[in-house]
Homo-oligomer: A and B are copies of this chain.
Amino acid sequence: MTQFSVTGFGPASIGNLAVGFDILGLSLSGIYDEVTLTKRTDREIKISNIKGVTQNLPKEAHKNTCGAALLAFQDKLNLNYGFDIAINKGIPLASGMGGSAASAVATVIAANHFLSQPLEKNELLEFALAGEQVASGSAHLDNVAPSLLGGLCLCLKNNKVIKIPTSSELNVVIFHPHIQVETKVARSILKDSISLNQYIEQSQYLAGFISACYEGDFNLIAKSLKDVVIEPQRSKLIPHFYQYQQEVLKVDGVLGCSISGAGPTMFALTNSDKSSLAVKQTFEQVAKLLNQSGKCWKLKINDQGAYTNEVH
């Protein structure tokens, strides 16, 4: 049996996207985790190497996001072989950029290439979710779906995912302050209930945003990209969040600014590359002023989702 390797790439993503707690996620270009699988003749799943921006990940396969995804894949498909897993993390740990989902997605998209009859991308969701669950304590689609499928994903019940159209002029900036927020902690601080008035207001933003995406209406996106439910709670975990947000929202062409996933990464959507540049400078200026370290990226939406080196 020929031994061979496949490398999968799982893009970072913005979970929640301000208006859609637990149900919306946006795939990002240019930041990703990379997972290389090498086929083994035995059935073992082994983490052989971890490098990149984060290296202190669990080495035991069933505790590791990639390993757990692959164990679920191997089990369901009755594979009589195993893999060595080499992980190259491009996404910082506990940053709110969907890193664990991206690792799981990179793993399953690579694993799929070893099948004589590869599965549809949609069919890979459940295995990536199994991996994501190991990292964040519960399986949420809002990072896994955009990382795997690309674009703006609306995550419904029973793992049903709808791709919401986005304008090619929509631009993204993310700023990652160099602190870590564990998803489990970010989840535990949330109140169990919200007021009826908050619910109504947030419903307006959500429905307005979905409509605006279909209509390509940037003015309505700007009026809708707000979070009165989760942001007020989670912003407490991000030092100076409102100072960043306030300055970013002053930039011409910015359509909204909030917390990416569970934080601490912040994101902004803009109407142009020019506006994104100004937003990036603003994040960096505020960080400098506050003497905070962090990293800022000017990005596009990734419409394609996960891919492998075999396709390109």
**Partner-B contacts on A (CB < 8 A):** 20-24, 154-157, 160, 162, 164, 190-196, 199-204, 206-208, 210-211, 214-215, 220, 223-224, 229
Q: State whether A162 touches B220 (Cβ < 8 A).
A: yes
Q: State whether A22 touches B210 (Cβ < 8 A).
A: no
Q: State whether A156 touches B194 (Cβ < 8 A).
A: no
Q: How far is the CA of A157 from the CA of B203 in the complex (A)?
A: 11
Copies in the complex: 2
Name A210's contact: one of B192, B202, B211 (CB within 8 Å).
Answer: B211
Q: Inside 8 A of A201's CB, which chain B residues have their CB? A: 157
Q: Inside 8 A of A192's CB, which chain B residues have their CB? A: 195-196
Q: Inside 8 A of A211's CB, which chain B residues have their CB? A: 154, 162, 164, 210, 214
Q: Inside 8 A of A199's CB, which chain B residues have their CB? A: 21, 194, 199, 202, 229
Q: How far is the CA of A199 from the CA of B195 in the complex (A)?
A: 10
Question: A137 to chain B: closest CB distance in Å?
Answer: 16
Q: How far is the CA of A215 from the CA of B214 in the complex (A)?
A: 9
Question: A144 to chain B: closest CB distance in Å?
Answer: 16
Q: State whether B203 touches A203 (Cβ < 8 A).
A: yes
Question: A219 to chain B: closest CB distance in Å?
Answer: 10
Given the known interface contacts A162-B211, A199-B199, A211-B210, the answer about A156 and B204 at a Cβ–Cβ threshold of 8 Å is yes
Name A157's contact: one of B22, B194, B204 (CB within 8 Å).
Answer: B204
Question: A19 to chain B: closest CB distance in Å?
Answer: 9
Q: State whether A203 touches B206 (Cβ < 8 A).
A: yes
Q: Inside 8 A of A20's CB, which chain B residues have their CB? A: 203, 207
Q: State whether A203 touches B162 (Cβ < 8 A).
A: no
Closest partner residue, chain B, to A158 (CB atom): B223
Q: State whether A207 touches B24 (Cβ < 8 A).
A: yes
Given the known interface contacts A194-B199, A196-B192, A199-B194, the answer about A207 and B204 at a Cβ–Cβ threshold of 8 Å is no
Q: Inside 8 A of A214's CB, which chain B residues have their CB? A: 211, 214
Q: State whether A21 touches B194 (Cβ < 8 A).
A: no
Closest partner residue, chain B, to A24 (CB atom): B207
Closest partner residue, chain B, to A215 (CB atom): B162
Q: State whether B223 touches A157 (Cβ < 8 A).
A: yes
Closest partner residue, chain B, to A214 (CB atom): B214
Closest partner residue, chain B, to A155 (CB atom): B204
Question: A103 to chain B: closest CB distance in Å?
Answer: 25
Question: A10 to chain B: closest CB distance in Å?
Answer: 24
Q: How far is the CA of A147 from the CA of B202 in the complex (A)?
A: 24
Q: State whether A194 touches B191 (Cβ < 8 A).
A: no
Q: How far is the CA of A156 from the CA of B222 in the complex (A)?
A: 13
Given the known interface contacts A162-B208, A204-B23, the answer about A196 and B194 at a Cβ–Cβ threshold of 8 Å is yes
Name A21's contact: one of B23, B190, B195, B200 (CB within 8 Å).
Answer: B200
Q: How far is the CA of A220 from the CA of B154 in the complex (A)?
A: 12
Given the known interface contacts A196-B191, A220-B162, the answer about A208 and B154 at a Cβ–Cβ threshold of 8 Å is yes
Q: State whether B156 touches A203 (Cβ < 8 A).
A: no
